Amino acid sequence: MPKTTYNRVDAQIIDDLRSIAGSKQVLVSAEDMEPYAHDEVVGLRSEPEAVVRASSTEQVSEILKLAQRERVPVTPRGAGYGLSGGAVPIHGGVVLSLEKMDRILEIDKENLMVTVEPGVIIGDLHRAVEEEGLFYPPDPASLDSCTLGGNVAEGAGGPRAVKYGVTKDYVCGLEAVLPSGEVINCGGKLVKNVTGYNLIQLLIGSEGTLAIVTKIILRLIPLPKIQVDLLVPYDDFQAAADTVSDIIAHRIVPTTIEFMERDSVLAVERLLEKEMPHDDAAAHLLIQLDGNRQEVVDEDAEVVGQLCLDHGARDVFVSRDSHTSDRLWEARRMIIDALNNESPINHMEDVVVPRAEIPSLLKGIKEIALRHSVRIVCFGHAGDGNVHVNVLKDDITDDLWADLVPAVREEIYTMTLSMGGTITAEHGIGATRRDYLPLALDRTQIDLMRRIRDVFDPNHILNPGKIFP
Ligand SMILES: Cc1cc2nc3c(=O)[nH]c(=O)nc-3n(C[C@H](O)[C@H](O)[C@H](O)COP(=O)(O)OP(=O)(O)OC[C@H]3O[C@@H](n4cnc5c(N)ncnc54)[C@H](O)[C@@H]3O)c2cc1C
């Protein structure tokens, strides 16, 4: 039976950590623990007993061997920009930060592959490969903060998933350290590989519960030469939702189709103190198209623009220059911060449905908001069926809020599942959704997953308290 009680991090363990990683890389003061006690989930925090910032695979391996011997829990951490509490050490113990392992080791232009350490910030990777005319498409809105190790562990996506897919579609190789301290190397600079079970895909999205990723090999593609952004305001929220599924039904696959409800746009304006065009519109779509031939991209943009107008769009604002596009995307990427600014207590969901169900999902969420007299703001990657649903506390009393959140969550999940969707598309289960896992997966699947975890980590030292109810 796995042991579920853990030992405290004592002075001897701190000394051992110092001799592995160097004393400057081991933090123990209360002040130093604060940044590592939370991620970006509002209101969730738990202090670690120590933080160690590893700088090599060998150090990660030695730290895990020590933790295993001493039965101390270890929580891997990238940048702490997660939205499911995955990097929060809810059983205390050691936070093992990968922030120092932040080198781009090689951009291989012959094989179109890049090899990175897990602490590389994804925005830095984008800039480095784009200078070489290459492209790494996954683009979480947190791209200037979050790490590739965190992206792999969460299976992160982003707006460009509509056309280019998500992290799992680009990982060709992983080096990882098992909870025993053993190092495994899976895959390589290989586009095809069916040698045994696909451990790479098992580790992607495993939320730091099976192994710690210490090296990542990613596939690159040529950088598209042309890009056009369309900002499309609507007077009718539902008409914007209908357009999303209609574009897909017309067999055009834009790079992105992002949905932004009015309250999210107004919140961004207030945060950035900048005006957005048509800020009184009920909703906006932010659609990007890219390619290598101007006439093909223009033709698709024409068809998409017309479809938007057919659905009652007020206007189609076209941006072909990077300065204007950057401003539009800055606004989109600031929505989560802006809603936090608007209502510091809020609750965020990350549901996903088959794309044709987007209009019904958005309509259903509005009905839930009305029924509970609460402000719910929707935005996100509607083009791939994934909508972020922010429930804002505003001036609701604490008592009411405590009852309201679970009730609203359950209704949103039940509706999503009835449409063939699921409860998280990219933010993960972590600590915040684990009690709802049985709504989405049957017992057989959860048991199978538990048994897989037990094979990797019989003593449950790696990121305990995550994923499983
Ligand atoms: C404003 C904002 C916008 C966001 N937009 C998006 C979006 O568009 N798409 C999206 O998918 N997500 C988005 N996110 C969520 C978040 O950025 C991603 O989940 C990201 O992948 C987290 O990376 P991180 O480095 O911050 O990981 P952390 O938060 O540090 O960790 C996340 C999980 O990964 C584990 N982990 C971290 N590094 C490793 C490693 N090397 N080996 C094993 N496990 C590890 C941790 O234990 C934890 O379980 C957003 C978050 C914010 C705050």
Task: List, for residues 132-174, the tens digit of each pLDDT value.
Answer: 999 999 999 999 999 999 999 999 999 999 999 999 999 999 9
Give me the half-sphere count of Cα atoms (radius 13 Å) on the Cβ side of residue 307: 23
Per DSSP, 422 falls in state: B
Per-residue pLDDT tens over the stretch 247-268 = 988 888 999 999 999 999 999 9
- Domain ranges in the chain with CATH number 3.30.465.10: 104-222
For domain 226-335, give its CATH number from 3.30.1360.120, 3.20.20.70, 3.90.1150.10, 3.30.70.2190.
3.30.70.2190
* Model confidence at 340: pLDDT above 90: yes
Mean pLDDT (whole number) for 14-41: 97
Counting ligand 1 atoms within 8 A of each CB, the residue from 41, 57, 75, 83 with the most, and so the one to mutate, is 83
- For 64, 175, 254, 389, 460, the CA distances from 94, given in Å and listed in that order, are 10, 21, 44, 33, 14
Per DSSP, 313 falls in state: B
- What pLDDT sits at residue 248? 86
337-418 has CATH 3.30.530.20 classification: no
- For 33, 110, 375, the CA distances from 158, given in Å and listed in that order, are 30, 27, 25
- What pLDDT sits at residue 237? 87
DSSP letter for each residue of 167-192:
GGGTEEEEEEE-TTS-EEEEE-S-S-
- The first and second tokens of residue 116, run together, are 């990175």
- What pLDDT sits at residue 276? 85
Q: Residue 372 Cα, ligand 1 centroid: separation in angstroms?
A: 31
Is any atom of ligand 1 closer than 6 Å to the C-beta of 120? no
* Model confidence at 192: pLDDT above 70: yes
From CA 184, how far away is CA 136, in angstroms rounded? 25
> What is the separation of C-alpha 94 from the centre of its chain, rounded to a whole number of angstroms?
23
Beta strands in 268-358 (DSSP E): 283-291, 317-319, 346-352
Per-residue pLDDT tens over the stretch 193-240 = 999 999 999 999 999 999 999 999 999 999 999 999 999 999 998 999
- The first and second tokens of residue 186, run together, are 């899976």
What share of the chain in percent tops pLDDT 90?
93
SS3 214: strand
Kindly report the backbone phi and psi dihedral angles of residue 324, in degrees, each rounded to the nearest multiple of 5, phi listed first.
Answer: -65, -45
- Residue 406 CB coordination number (10 Å): 12
Which helix or strand (DSSP H or E) is residue 77 part of? strand 74-77
From CA 375, how far away is CA 382, in angstroms rounded? 20
Angle between helices 322-333 and 262-272 (to 10 degrees): 110
Which value, in Å, is the radius of gyration of the alpha carbons in the chain?
A: 22
- Domain ranges in the chain with CATH number 3.30.70.2190: 226-335
Residues 6+ apart with CB under 8 A from 12: none
- What pLDDT sits at residue 1? 42
Q: Which is it for the CA torsion 451, 456, 458, 461, positive or negative? A: negative
Is any atom of ligand 1 closer than 6 Å to the C-beta of 48? no
From CA 383, how far away is CA 241, in angstroms rounded? 10
CATH class of 104-222: alpha beta
* Model confidence at 2: pLDDT above 60: no
* Model confidence at 3: pLDDT above 80: no
- What pLDDT sits at residue 381? 92
Is any atom of ligand 1 closer than 6 Å to the C-beta of 118? yes
Residue that the structure tokens 């009393």 belong to:
397
Is any atom of ligand 1 closer than 6 Å to the C-beta of 338? no
Mean pLDDT (whole number) for 417-426: 98
Per DSSP, 466 falls in state: S
Q: What is the mean pLDDT of the chain?
A: 96
Across the strands, what pairs with 260?
284, 379
Q: Which of 205-209, 230-234, 299-303, 324-328 has the lowest mean pLDDT?
A: 324-328
Amino acid in the structure at residue 235: D
Q: Residue 336 Cα, ligand 1 centroid: separation in angstroms?
A: 14
* Model confidence at 463: pLDDT above 50: yes
Mean pLDDT (whole number) for 113-131: 98
Do residues 87 and 75 touch, judged by C-beta distance below 8 A? yes
- Domain ranges in the chain with CATH number 3.30.70.2740: 337-418
- What pLDDT sits at residue 286? 97
Taking the CA atoms of residue 334, residue 314, residue 350 and residue 327 in that order, the dihedral angle to the nearest 10 degrees is -20
- What pLDDT sits at residue 11? 98
* Model confidence at 444: pLDDT above 90: yes
Q: What is the pTM of this model?
A: 0.96
From CA 84, how far away is CA 269, in angstroms rounded? 27
- The first and second tokens of residue 313, run together, are 């769009």
Mean pLDDT (whole number) for 30-39: 97
- pLDDT band at 433, cuts 50/70/90? very high
Is any atom of ligand 1 closer than 6 Å to the C-beta of 457? no
Residue that the structure tokens 């709504």 belong to:
439
Per-residue pLDDT tens over the stretch 365-388 = 999 999 999 999 999 999 999 999
| Beta-sheet pairing, 74-77 with 50-53 | unpaired
Q: What share of the chain is helix, strand, coil (3-state, %, to 5)?
A: 40, 20, 40
From CA 33, how far away is CA 408, in angstroms rounded? 33
Counting ligand 1 atoms within 8 A of each CB, the residue from 98, 125, 142, 257 with the most, and so the one to mutate, is 142
Q: Residue 71 Cα, ligand 1 centroid: separation in angstroms?
A: 26
Is any atom of ligand 1 closer than 6 Å to the C-beta of 82? yes
Mean pLDDT (whole number) for 381-399: 95
- What pLDDT sits at residue 412? 98
